[in-house]
Amino acid sequence: MLDHVLVYVNGRRQEVRGEDAFLSLSDFLRRTQGLVGTKIVCSEGDCGACTVLIGRPAADGRRLVYLPVDSCIQFMFQLDSTHVVTVEGLGGEASPSAVQEAMIECHGSQCGFCTPGFVVMMTGLLEERDELDETSMRCGLTGNLCRCTGYTPILDAGSKVDVEKHERMAKKYPADAMISEFGRRRRKPIELRADGGTHVDESLRDSKFASRRDAATWRLHVCAAPADLEGALAFLAEHPHATIVAGATDVGVRINKSLTVPATILDLNRVAELDSVAVEDGELVLGSRASWTALEQVCEARVPEFHKIIQVFGAPQTRHVGTIGGNIANASPIADSLPFLYVMDAVLELRSAGGSREVNINDFYKGYKKLDMRPGELIARVRVPLPADNDLLKLYKVSRRFDLDIASFTAAIRMRLDGETIAEAAIAFGAVGPTVIRARKTEEFLRGRTLDEETMQLAGEVAIAEITPISDVRGAADYRYQLARNILLKFYYETQNFAVPV
């Protein structure tokens, strides 16, 4: 049993144990490493100022794959066997990187607070492509906010990067030694402990410049980072109420907002059995730790409608680490994946040390954030039947902003026709009640009727009697009623190839 995580930072080897293992990566970098180029602004994954590259061994174990991630919502206990590269590790005043030079040349920085995040993100984009064209910049930078420069000089910088001079991470940081050391510890379980007390940095408590974590209350913490599923289930059997952590894009925000690190944590990041993404017998078979980036790749050809939703799921930094299991277990009524999973009748495979059971996702939520998941259980796999060739499927996310925003309303509509008659209908709405709901009465109303404008208008009236939306910052209840009505018509216009009114 190892008592530390092994992390390389800008090529330097670090063993991290005790309280440091429970720090966010951004706090670890700034406080213990003096790497203050990584900035903290929002502490909740929204601005990208804290972006760093995290390199993990590829599936073939021969190289490290570097992905840009928000370090404010990643924690050291998640990062065993990784190479973290910060803005300092890319280049400095004496020898700026090609991206840094382009940002200087194009005046892509004013106050400079967002700049390290942009530089790291652009470097991350260049890990997977040979140049930064406008589309890759616009899509790739949706998770990076700048409050003073304006984006035009930053976009210009992308087009000016001297790609001949740019060094990929594999060249800048030869990885053979790291990879072989990571391989040697892969099968060893890790248990991290930080022993108690209250760790309050009084000098920083009232400072408006302090990180929110400065006032965090520390109790005795234990975190297991088992090397396999069996180890994870054994730990859960002993600690049935442990907080499970996958990508930490929800848990991390909760920790930073509440200033409380959970006392007992089960981290799933090393459990390779939960990573799988496969298509088997007409189903997507997904390990619960499948990331949105991995899903984006497989869904592009297999379920283009779901791919469209994944593309506006958070930002690249969120998608690289956020997982499908986390989205399901977080149980938000506005979670982007749920309406699709509802109308496809996805099945969750729940595992505990005592065995496994299956639950249809439509039966999984018992109320607001109440799950049919027993202490000691975790979500191991999600099986999603693929739409048939003759299914009509449309997924909708309505939000105030297109990118990096939380939905005001979501919907999924799946239909199968027999001629012009609706043979089957499945409809799910999100953000209209304490859980995502399946509109069973509307489905029943539609079955056997002709798919036309009048039917869909009448169905809208049935649908609004099935929902109980509230008014909040993302939309008024009336607005959501109107959306539930209109989305049915929109589905009709879109699937029957009418021009959709804007």
Ligand X SMILES: Cc1cc2nc3c(=O)[nH]c(=O)nc-3n(C[C@H](O)[C@H](O)[C@H](O)COP(=O)(O)OP(=O)(O)OC[C@H]3O[C@@H](n4cnc5c(N)ncnc54)[C@H](O)[C@@H]3O)c2cc1C
**Amino acid at site 330:** N
211 or 327: whose CB is closer to ligand X?
A: 327
- Taking CB positions, which residue lies at the least distance from ligand X? 326
In angstroms, how far is CA 493 from the centroid of its own chain? Answer: 32
322 binds, among ligand X, ligand FES, none (CB under 5 to 8 A by kind): ligand X
- Restricting to residues 143-202, which ones interact with ligand FES according to CB under 6 A? 146-149
The conformation of residue 147, written as its DSSP 8-state character, comes to: S
Among 37, 48, 262, 339, binds ligand FES (CB under 6 A): 48
Among 7, 21, 23, 45, binds ligand FES (CB under 6 A): 45
Query: What token pair was written down for 398?
Result: 């309505």
- Restricting to residues 392-411, which ones interact with ligand FES according to CB under 6 A? none
The interface region with ligand FES, picked from 48-56, 124-132, 178-186, 357-365 by CB under 6 A, is 48-56
Q: What span, in angstroms and rounded, lies between the C-alpha atoms of 312 and 482?
A: 23
Query: By the criterion CB under 6 A, which residues form the site for ligand X?
Result: 44-46, 73, 243-251, 253, 268, 288, 313-314, 318, 322-323, 325-327, 329-330, 335-336, 378-379
Q: What span, in angstroms and rounded, lies between the C-alpha atoms of 76 and 29?
A: 10
215 or 253: whose CB is closer to ligand X?
A: 253
151 or 218: whose CB is closer to ligand FES?
A: 151
Which residues, at least 6 apart from 441, have a Cβ–Cβ distance to it below 8 Å?
462, 465, 466
345 or 405: whose CB is closer to ligand X?
A: 405
Residue for token pair 């700034």: 30
In angstroms, how far is CA 70 from the centroid of its own chain? Answer: 11
- Restricting to residues 429-458, which ones interact with ligand FES according to CB under 6 A? none
Q: How far is the CB of 37 from ligand X (least distance, A)?
A: 21
Question: For residue 109, how many C-alpha atoms fall within 13 Å in the half-sphere facing its CB?
Answer: 17
Closest by CA position to 341, among listed 414, 417, 434, 431:
414
90 binds, among ligand FES, ligand X, none (CB under 5 to 8 A by kind): none
Binding-residue total with ligand FES (CB under 6 A): 23
3-state class (DSSP) for residue 38: coil
Q: How far is the CB of 488 from ligand FES (least distance, A)?
A: 37
Q: How far is the CB of 40 from ligand FES (least distance, A)?
A: 5
335 or 467: whose CB is closer to ligand X?
A: 335
248 binds, among ligand FES, ligand X, none (CB under 5 to 8 A by kind): ligand X
Q: What span, in angstroms and rounded, lies between the C-alpha atoms of 40 and 53?
A: 15
111 binds, among ligand X, ligand FES, none (CB under 5 to 8 A by kind): ligand FES
Among 47, 85, 348, 412, binds ligand FES (CB under 6 A): 47
DSSP state letters, 343-404: HTT-EEEEEETTEEEEEEGGGTEEETTEES--TT-EEEEEEEEPPPTTEEEEEEEE-SSSSS
50 binds, among ligand FES, ligand X, none (CB under 5 to 8 A by kind): ligand FES
Q: What span, in angstroms and rounded, lies between the C-alpha atoms of 285 and 217?
A: 40
Dihedral over Cα of 315, 320, 324, 328: its sign: negative
Q: How far is the CB of 329 from ligand FES (least distance, A)?
A: 22
Q: What span, in angstroms and rounded, lies between the C-alpha atoms of 428 and 407?
A: 14
Dihedral over Cα of 96, 99, 105, 111: its sign: negative
29 or 232: whose CB is closer to ligand FES?
A: 29
336 binds, among ligand FES, ligand X, none (CB under 5 to 8 A by kind): ligand X
45 or 89: whose CB is closer to ligand FES?
A: 45
Dihedral over Cα of 126, 88, 184, 377: its sign: negative
The answer to whether the beta carbons of residues 483 and 469 sit under 8 Å apart is no
381 or 490: whose CB is closer to ligand X?
A: 381
237 binds, among ligand X, ligand FES, none (CB under 5 to 8 A by kind): none
The interface region with ligand FES, picked from 9-17, 34-42, 239-247, 419-427 by CB under 6 A, is 34-42
The answer to whether the beta carbons of residues 330 and 297 sit under 8 Å apart is no
Q: What span, in angstroms and rounded, lies between the C-alpha atoms of 232 and 266?
A: 7
CB atoms under 10 Å from CB of 448, counted, come to 11
313 binds, among ligand FES, ligand X, none (CB under 5 to 8 A by kind): ligand X
Residue 46 makes contact with ligand FES by CB under 6 A:
yes
The interface region with ligand FES, picked from 41-49, 120-128, 425-433, 448-456 by CB under 6 A, is 41-49
Q: What span, in angstroms and rounded, lies between the C-alpha atoms of 458 and 451?
A: 11
- Restricting to residues 54-113, which ones interact with ligand FES according to CB under 6 A? 70, 72, 109-113
Continuous H helices in 190-228 = 202-205
193 or 212: whose CB is closer to ligand FES?
A: 212
Q: How far is the CB of 106 from ligand FES (least distance, A)?
A: 12
**Amino acid at site 501:** P
* Residue ranges that bind ligand FES, judged by CB under 6 A: 40-43, 45-50, 70, 72, 109-115, 146-149
